[in-house]
Chain A
Amino acid sequence: MSNYDMEDTQNSAPGALPPAQASKLAPRRGVDAQSTTKRLQTELMQLMTSSAPGISAFPSAADNLLRWAATIEGPDDTPYQGLTFKLSFEFPSNYPYAAPTVLFKTPIYHPNVDFSGRICLDILKDKWTAAYNIQTVLLSLQSLLGEPNNASPLNGEAAELWDKDPEEFKRKVLGRHRDVDDE
């Protein structure tokens, strides 16, 4: 009988299964995760078939659809003209019912972005609805570059300079901008 002399594994057995299997066994969570994945796949398809100019996004790795990388080109006639900015998207497992976490990976000098890349944008916070998607978020961010919301700045100096000294602002933007490579 020594063959069976192992600790009682009745509770740990499912845990020992590979994660994919485990998620199959947990339907409630699994269904959510599945619908999130499906939604993200659809969005990816949309982005790929009808892309808006100046923005693009793609999953960071094939096996995890919950992390994306995105690129925004600075809109013309703004201090950011000609620059490209990388962003990271992190989707919660109940996306689209909760907003993704979006960060600027490229250092940016902007009134509504702090130095670690965090963004102050209402639709990424309390104004988020499931109707938004990656494309709309990127388009909003792109327009945010041209029209910062100086009423609630994360970078006070930038907010001030935006109105007072566009030249200096532009200089600071260029000074801060730096192409980031992949991690």
Chain B
Amino acid sequence: MPGRTLDTKKRRVFNSVFGTPPISQPTPVTTPITGFTAPGQAFGAPPLHNDTFSSQLSSPSKLSPPGTDHVQDQVRWDRSWHIATRVLNLPDFAEHRGVLEPLKPERESVGKDFYQALNVLIYPQTYVPLARQTEDIIAWHTSQVRRHFLRQVLPIILRLKKHEKPDAILLRVVKVLETAQRQYLHGLSFIKEHIDNSGLPGTSTPVVSRFRRDVYAVISNSVTEPILDILTKVLTSQVSYILGLSSPNGSTYSVVPEDAESERSRREILGLVESLKNVGLAGEQFQVTFAEVMNDSMTEYVNRGCKGIWSQLDLSGSQSSNETILPRTAHHPSPSRCVRDLCEWIENRYAKLAVQVLNMLDTKFNISWTDKEKYKEMSIGRLAELRINELYDIVVNWPHSRGALDDLRTAITTPQRRLHLTEVFAKTLSEKLLHPGASTLRILQTYISMIWSFHALDHSKVLLDRVAYPLQLYLCSREDTVRIIIAGLLSDTEDAQDNPITSSTDKLVELAQLLNKGSEQVGSRADDEELDWHDTEWIPDPVDAGPGYKRSKNADIIGTLIGVLGSQEVFIKEFQNIMGENLLKHDGSFEKEIKVLELLKVRFGEAPLQACEVMLKDIQDSGRVNSVIRKKQNLDSHGSENDAQILGAGSIADSQSKPSLHAKILSRLFWPQLHDEEYQVPNEIMELQEAYEEGFESIKASRKLTWLHALGQATVELQLEDRIIVEEVHTWQATVIYAFQSEDENIQRTTEELVTELGMDETLVRSALKFWVNKLVLHETSPNTYSVLETLNQEDRARSNAQASAPSSSNKDDSLDDDTGLGSSDGIGKEKMGMYWQFIQGMLKNSSSQMSLPQIAMMLKMLIVDGFPYSNEELQEFLGRKVQDGSLEVVSGKYKLKK
């Protein structure tokens, strides 16, 4: 290449001395087009260049006959064109051309004839008015530039792209483009100068700007596309440096504070934008790219700076700065940490960069410093979106996620966002929680967190109501909901060492804590709140509150949970059941139950809880009555204590001491239905019971005792050959082991024997046997035959010790508990059978003459006020009995009344 430039240089020097060889003129004075040669000129001979030309130029008015003038003008035009274009012809573009290299054509090399030719070309009307074919020299130059650019410059740029780092490529591209542009403008500058010299001042401006625009268009159209990805890369990395989003250590997810590095990047990017603008690459495409990069980095910042950061702001930060940093809409008494950080970041870094860069570009929009408020609101929107997606986890982490809720509260300002929030949350909720895999306890715990969290988010409960509905519905389908809630209410809030239990895996301790705190006032404060003129915290009802919206200031967890259950009757009934169970199972003063009962009375009023109160009173009274009777009947004897519920019987004692019996006397009408098993109590107990009965009847003549054998507790002391076992067991378990009491060391008993002898249900016998086998008291010598394990071998002893050291409560929690649970009896009880039968008859007679099992079950569940606690299988069995006795028939899987 250098050789070639040298060549052209030489030629130019030569030409400047000797003139351009006329032979190279494509349009000689005499051309075949004209048809004639001028008089006195030889056909085809080289024209007398200088003479003709200058004379023609100097005296256009002297032009003679129209025919020849026309030809002459055309020829002059053509020649001028040739001269000018040859001079202005762009040289080849050298890839590694130095910036300082002079531009061609050099000004000194341009001769006078060039300017004369330009005159003709620029003002054809004046100089060659008759030339028919004229063209615009500027348009020619533009198109030559375009061609030149596409043929020579663009390939260089595309080649650059292949090998080099993005930012280096970009610099090179910019450089190449600058050089090319200089070249193009240089060519134009001749024309411009000429116009400026010959015409009115300022006439060149539109010409130049049009040219510049055209060139920019060419460049940005052809270059932007191929280098767009590079541009994006460079912008992304620079912007992320400036905004502190780069993570030099790879995985550090934090925001880098402003430092020298980011300052350097800032300068770099501004320089880059400046030069891009100069070469015409800062067009719309660039702006779009920049906007995208900025947009992404805002999301990135929100993700990085705020994701999972839910803790609350420590209020040491200066409060005063809030006023200026937070946007107007985000002002709030308790500032949230992330929102503040975000706004600071926007203010100090983001908006600064955006405004600086955008101000350098010619955009249609006027970006000013005040636009930062817009950015802030946008970023808060992003934060809201992030938090909304995190909301489920935030809720689960309550109360450690208060900060996140503050963020949300700041950000959730429009009904649309509120709606969006509830929609997203409801969806997550149903995906993550409302499925069979989640335990009812977990659902309830989450629900409690939800109530807290949403209350913190929005005191109005409107949001909560919207998301809680499916949850409530789902909870209704869980059978153990009520039980868990009540168990939670009744659970211990302090462990054995008086340390508060904050969470538990099997109970809703939270409820007990709430109840104990008593901070939740119940009442109708909602009604008079409107009139409370002193309430400085008053805010209007949320705009999206439904009709009938009622404000309520506190979260009222218990109230809400009980509300879930539909009616308080259901709740109270279950409470009664569970309390009854507790009262029968344990001794003591039942302080907890009394307390819960008192608190529930505050909530529900006295009347609905009357039965519970009677139950408590029964238990308290029976303590007194018990001692009176025992004294009277001389039942007090020493020996292991047998604690029988009123109707429960104690049992076993060891051979030396006599058993003793304590009873709890229940008022039948006020207790939930108690499920009893009939069986033969041991004779000793029977005698005690009779004596007790006598004593009772002498005190309360009008009343009669009925014993519920299976409901008691018995303390059993077993003396075996090598050990003594003391166990707190169910009475029926005690009865079974009592049957093994014998002088005979090797007594063996079969299951059948026990069933007939004790008159006890076989399943009960079996479970009692299993219980004692587990306790290593009995062992199964052959199938269904058991004998006492008087001595333990080594291995068994180890097991026994291990058992003893395990908490004794766990022993009672085996599968047997359910057998004595209140109300949970097998099959459908006789008392209720009649009523259910009425219902079934009623529906088969009136609603639909044929119904399937699920339909009937559904009807019963929905229509019986107290609920229908039986499973479909139990119902099926019941219906089966009705089919057997001929009241019903089954037609193609559906039940029908027999006529």
Chain A residues close to B by CB (< 8 Å): 1, 3-6, 8-10, 13-14, 17-18, 21-22, 25-28, 30, 41-42, 44-45, 47-49, 51, 56-63, 65, 68-71, 86, 181-182
Contact = CB atoms under 8 A, between A and B. Distances in A.
A48 B859 CA distance: 14
B865 interface: yes
Nearest to B545: A14
13 contacts: A8-B415, A10-B544, A13-B415, A13-B544, A21-B465, A25-B547, A25-B548, A41-B865, A62-B863, A68-B846, A70-B846, A182-B847, A182-B848
A69 B859 CA distance: 14
Contact of B419 (A9, A21, A22, A48): A9
A25 B546 contact: yes
Interface residues of B toward A: which range?
A: 35 or more
A62 B846 contact: no
Given A3-B420, A69-B847, A58 B842 contact: yes
Interface string B271-313: 0000000000000000000000000000000000000000000
Contact of B549 (A25, A42, A57): A25
Contacts of B865: 41-42, 45
B862 A63 contact: yes
Do most interface residues of chain B lie in helix, strand or loop, or is the interface mixed?
helix
Contact of B835 (A49, A56, A182): A49
Contacts of A8: 415-416
Given A57-B846, A58-B847, A62-B859, A48 B415 contact: no
Given A26-B548, A41-B865, A4 B417 contact: yes
B839 interface: yes
A181 B849 contact: yes
B688 interface: no
Contact of B863 (A3, A44, A69): A44
Contact of A41 (B385, B546, B863): B863
A130 B843 CA distance: 25
B882 to A, nearest CB: 16
A24 B549 CA distance: 10
A21 B469 contact: yes
B548 A9 contact: no
A153 B769 CA distance: 76
A3 B387 CA distance: 14
B113 to A, nearest CB: 65
Given A49-B838, A71-B846, 13 more contacts: A10-B543, A10-B544, A13-B466, A14-B547, A45-B865, A48-B835, A48-B842, A57-B842, A62-B861, A68-B846, A69-B846, A70-B846, A86-B846
A70 B843 CA distance: 9
A3 to B, nearest CB: 6
Contacts of B417: 4
Contacts of B858: 62
B381 interface: yes
A178 to B, nearest CB: 15
Contact of A48 (B543, B548, B839, B849): B839
B841 interface: yes
B165 interface: no
B562 interface: no
A56 B548 CA distance: 38
Contacts of A86: 846
B415 A9 contact: yes
Contacts of B546: 13-14, 17, 22, 25-26
Given A17-B546, A25-B548, A51-B838, A9 B849 contact: no
A60 B420 CA distance: 39
Contacts of B416: 4-6, 8-9
Nearest to B563: A24
A14 B862 CA distance: 26
Contacts of B841: 56
B530 to A, nearest CB: 16
A155 B678 CA distance: 64
A52 B846 CA distance: 15
B414 interface: yes
A17 B466 contact: yes
Nearest to A84: B845
B846 A10 contact: no
B441 interface: no
B57 interface: no
Nearest to A29: B548
Given A48-B835, A48-B839, A48-B842, A61 B847 contact: yes
B524 to A, nearest CB: 13
A66 to B, nearest CB: 13
Contact of B414 (A4, A26, A44, A57): A4
B378 interface: yes
Contact of A3 (B385, B549, B550): B385
- Report the 10 A-B pairs with minimum CB-CB distance, sorted nearest first: A14-B546, A62-B862, A4-B416, A69-B846, A58-B846, A58-B842, A25-B546, A48-B838, A10-B415, A27-B548
Nearest to A88: B846
Contact of B846 (A25, A56, A65): A56
Interface in B452-467: 465-466
A9 B543 CA distance: 10
A48 B846 CA distance: 13
A48 B381 CA distance: 59
A44 B836 CA distance: 12
A44 B842 CA distance: 10
Nearest to B834: A49
B426 to A, nearest CB: 11
Contacts of B847: 58-61, 69, 182
A51 B834 CA distance: 12
A64 B326 CA distance: 53
A35 to B, nearest CB: 13
Nearest to A62: B862
A160 to B, nearest CB: 33
B830 to A, nearest CB: 15
A71 B845 contact: yes
Contacts of A9: 415-416, 419, 544
